[in-house]
Structure 1
Amino acid sequence: MIPEDEFDFKDPGTLRKKAEEKLIKNQKIKSAPTEEADVKKLLHELHVHQIELEMQNEELHLAYDSVEATLKKLTMLYDLAPIGFFILNENSGIVELNFTGAEMLGEPRFSLVDSNFRLFLSQDSLEMFNRFFDLLYTSNSKESCHIRLGYDQELVRSVYVEGVVDDDKKCLLSVVDISRFSK
């Protein structure tokens, strides 16, 4: 037989009985008014936290609306700009371009991504562009040049190009059509 102060932990009935006795003993130690005060305090804290979350949610919605409006403006500014914008990689591959840039190259925008920008230069401008492009990566400053766009021996337009290289080694180009001024 097991002494009174020791009991068999393997017997679920005895274990439950001892746990209930301990719970009742602990509940007697805490007085009812304290429990009620604790519940009220906890309920108050939950309400305050709920209001804080609602306020944060409202702030998130306002921030989201602001970001959406800014994105719309920047998309309009970039995509619909009257000059061509290009982002090239170190091999002069087109990473990104706006609608005006695609129009200048005479191809749909989606088909130009991953194409090499040099493919759209007239033969007589290739050497100038190569010097310009190399200088961009060695000087780490804004550079410019005049080149002619063309393909299949067909001249498309004369352009003025300015470029810089960003921290990710991407070349950012702005291309302005100057054909009407160079005739």
Structure 2
Amino acid sequence: MINDEMDFTNIQKLREKAEKKLNETRKTKNGELNTIDVNKLLHELQVHQIELEMQNEELQQAYKAAEKALKKYTTLFDFSPMGYFSLDSDGSICDLNFTGANMLEERRFSLINSNFKLFIADESKPIFNDFFGKLYVSNVRESCKVWLGYDNKILCQVYMEGIVLENEKNCFLSVVDISKFSNV
């Protein structure tokens, strides 16, 4: 019988005991629920409901503001006149904007997971490899000028700056086409 009393795994019995105990503590001498306790409980529930509604409104406003900011910064990233690339430590493209894809003369989403180093012209590979290696060693902003190209096809000369943020595995490159400014 004692084991039956202490069995907390039977949810139905536990609930019945809890309700019984609650009713015993809430009854007055006449056996009726104390109306003051009921009114207090009702008031607390109503206040809590209003608090939740106010929090919900704040969350909805914050969500709308976040959506607006996301749209704004996504548009700024995607349509910037500068190419932006996120590369992993092997040089694979994790993300890029439309300008970056145009510089490589490829469709944006077909470039994801491609190795960026394949788009560096042969004569610029040593410069780029030195630049890329320094990024992961120094954790400071580095820059270089290289020619983009592949299959003996030169695309353009670019100035790029890159940085690897602390504890990040990806480097972030900003790339500007300087072909029209260079003397070839």
Q: Percent identity?
A: 53
* Change over 3 Å in CA distance of 1:44–1:124 after alignment to 2: same
The number of equivalent residue pairs is: 160
Distance 1:165 1:70 in 2: 24
Q: Does 1:99 align with 2:98?
A: yes
Structure 2 Cα separation of the partners of residues 124 and 105 of structure 1: 17
The one-letter code matched in structure 2 to 1:56 is Q
Distance in 1 of aligned mates of 2:113 and 2:101:
13
Give how far 1:28 is off: 5.8
Give the whole-Å Cα distance in 1 for the aligned partners of 2:95 and 2:140. Answer: 21
Equivalent residues in 2 for 1:170-181, closer than 5 Å: 170-181=170-181
28 and 144 in structure 1: CA distance in 2 versus 1, 3 angstrom threshold: closer
Q: Is the 8 A contact 2:27 2:34 kept in 1?
A: no
Please list every run of 5 or more consecutive structure 1 residues that lacks an aligned counterpart in the other structure.
1-19
> Equivalent residue for 2:45?
46
What is the correspondence of 1:22-37 to structure 2 with a 5 Å cutoff?
27=27, 29=29, 32=32, 35-37=34-36
User: How far does the alpha carbon of each residue in 1:105-162 deviate from its partner, in whole angstroms, 9 at most, with x for none?
Assistant: 1111111010000111111011110011111111221110000001110111000000
Distance change >3 Å, CA 111–CA 30, structure 1 → 2: farther
What corresponds to 2:77 in structure 1? Answer: 78
SS of equivalent to 2:168: coil
Give 1:17's aligned residue. none
The answer for the alignment partner of 1:62 in structure 2 is 61
1:116 is matched with: 115
TM-score (norm 2): 0.82
Distance in 2 (alpha carbons) for counterparts of 1:155 and 1:28: 92
Other structure's SS at 1:77 match: helix
Q: CA RMSD in A?
A: 1.9
Counterpart amino acid of residue 58 in structure 2? E
Quote the Cα distance in structure 1 between the aligned partners of 2:141 and 2:31.
77
Q: Secondary structure at the match of 1:29?
A: coil
Q: Which residue number corresponds to residue 3 of structure 1?
A: none
Moved over 2 A (4+): 26-32
Note closer, same or farther for the CA distance 1:136–1:28 as it changes in structure 2 (3 Å cut).
closer
Deviations 1:73-95 (A, max 9, x none): 11011111100000001111111
AA at the equivalent of 1:115 = S
For residue 53 of structure 1, what is the amino acid of its counterpart?
Answer: L
Q: How far did 1:29 drift?
A: 2.6
Structure 1's 103 and 35: CA in aligned 2 closer, same or farther, altered over 3 A?
same
1:125 aligns with 2:121: no
**Which amino acid in 1 is paired with 2:169?**
K
